[in-house]
Amino acid sequence: MERRSGIGSKSRGLLYRLYQGRLRKQLDPARLPRHVAMIIDGNRRWARQRGLSSTDHGYLAGADVYRDFLVWCDDLGIEHVTLYLLSTDNVAKRPAAELDGLLQIIGDLAEDLSRYRDWRVQHVGSDEGLPDALVSALAAAEARSAANTGMHINLAVGYGGRREIVDAIRTIVREHGRDGGTLEDLADDLTPEKIGEHLYTGGQPDPDLVIRTSGEQRLSDFMLWQSAHSEFYFVEALGPDFREVDFLRALRAYAERDRRLGR
């Protein structure tokens, strides 16, 4: 939607800020999630609806939302955020011409985030099928921010939940073989805790809240293991239209839910 100047838009802006402030006051810091996972979906649709010449415009707008979203999280004291940027299916199925622009945008985003505040950036996913330039950019962002102690940001690039579980089990099997263990011992060793330690996000808390934009209500192979007890919140807005007020509503809804976690 195009922004329009005038008294009407100023009035709407004031009402928006008042509503946003009211939502913030309603949040109980003790009931905020420690880890939020985010799927910004609908970037291509957003670009097409506006008649833009390239889907890159949508990806760039989505990346801007990611930057804002991370600031909102950090300002509220959320400790871990995972952003779903590129799936293994995207790598395998998207046209090369479309992927080229997206891969450059992801590399630039990783570098920007690793230089901002005291954030620690980590690539979660597989390097397989990714161009060397992007692999290098992700590795450089990790190294540059490794000593940072602020918010931990996982960039899910070349990521697939099923692939992650398979990779974790393969690592456990290889380690067990190197140590000379038997198959019987290996069977006993394959516990949920052991597998969790070997996931890409090993050592981190599982996401408490998973948010997805664009009205789609599915995980799309995202954090299948880690989201076993997560709360889900789906937003109708397309990715680039996601606003802080949408995020605050998601947090309010999360705080109102009774998380029994199997109890």
Q: Which amino acid is at 246?
A: D
Number of domains in the chain: 1
DSSP 75-137: HTT--EEEEEEEEHHHHHHS-HHHHHHHHHHHHHHHHHHHTSTT-EEEEES--TT--HHHHHH
- Is residue 89 among the annotated active site residues? no
DSSP strands (E only) in the chain: 35-39, 80-87, 120-124, 152-159, 209-212, 231-234
Which residue in the list 43, 74, 90, 154 is annotated as catalytic?
90
Check whether 11 has a pLDDT greater than 70.
no
126: domain CATH number is 3.40.1180.10
Q: What is the mean pLDDT of the chain?
A: 92
Instruction: Provide the whole-model pTM.
Output: 0.91
Provide the percentage of residues in the chain whose pLDDT is more than 90.
Answer: 83
Position 11 in a domain:
no
Check whether 26 has a pLDDT greater than 60.
yes
- Is residue 41 among the annotated active site residues? yes
Q: What is the pLDDT of residue 263?
A: 64
Q: What is the pLDDT of residue 4?
A: 38
Q: Span 101-124, mean pLDDT?
A: 97
Give residue 217's domain range: 32-160+206-247
Check whether 189 has a pLDDT greater than 90.
no
Q: What is the pLDDT of residue 262?
A: 63
Position 147 in a domain:
yes
Cα 63 to Cα 155: distance, rounded to the nearest angstrom: 12
Q: Span 172-192, mean pLDDT?
A: 88
Position 109 in a domain:
yes
pLDDT per residue as tens digits for the range 50-78 = 999 899 999 999 999 999 999 999 999 99
Check whether 152 has a pLDDT greater than 90.
yes
Q: What is the pLDDT of residue 182?
A: 84
Cα 42 to Cα 159: distance, rounded to the nearest angstrom: 18
